[in-house]
């Protein structure tokens, strides 16, 4: 269970959307969180991998090398 306080303007927008579509405010809040959470997880993973490359913890390879290893290159 999660309870959040939203600015009045956002609460009104969410309520208007819910009324116009026949869905609940909870539905749209959940959808927004799930979509944004995917983006946040992707961003965190990319930043972590970049940090690991910069710190020498992970080695990067060139795209053409990867393509050859996967049998995708000519």
What tens digit of pLDDT does each residue of 2-48 get?
899 999 999 999 999 999 999 999 999 999 999 899 999 999 999 99
Measured distance CA(46)–CA(12) in Å, rounded = 35
Give pLDDT, residue 57: 95
**Gap between the Cα atoms of 15 and 26, Å rounded:** 10
Q: State residue 21's pLDDT score.
A: 98
Residue 25 domain-assigned? yes
Residue 1 is assigned to a structural domain of this protein: no
Q: Are 55 and 49 in contact (CB under 8 A)?
A: no
Domain-located, residue 60: yes
Assigned domain for 2 exists: no
Look up the domain containing 16 and give its range. Answer: 8-69
Q: Please report which confidence band the pLDDT of residue 1 belongs to, taking 50, 70 and 90 as the band edges.
A: confident
Residue with tokens 């993973």: 45
Judge whether residue 74 has pLDDT over 80: no
pTM score, two decimals? 0.58
Position 19 in a domain: yes
* Residue 61 within any structural domain of the chain: yes
Is 74 a member of any domain? no
Q: Looking at the 3D structure of the chain, how many domains does it have?
A: 1
């Amino acid at each position: 269970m999660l309870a959040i306080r939203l600015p009045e303007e956002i609460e009104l927008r969410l309520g208007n959307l819910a009324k116009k579509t026949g869905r609940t405010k909870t539905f749209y809040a959940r959808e927004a969180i799930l979509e944004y959470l995917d983006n946040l997880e992707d961003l965190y993973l990319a930043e972590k991998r970049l940090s690991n490359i910069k710190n020498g913890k992970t080695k990067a390879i060139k795209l053409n090398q990867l393509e050859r290893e996967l049998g995708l290159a000519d």
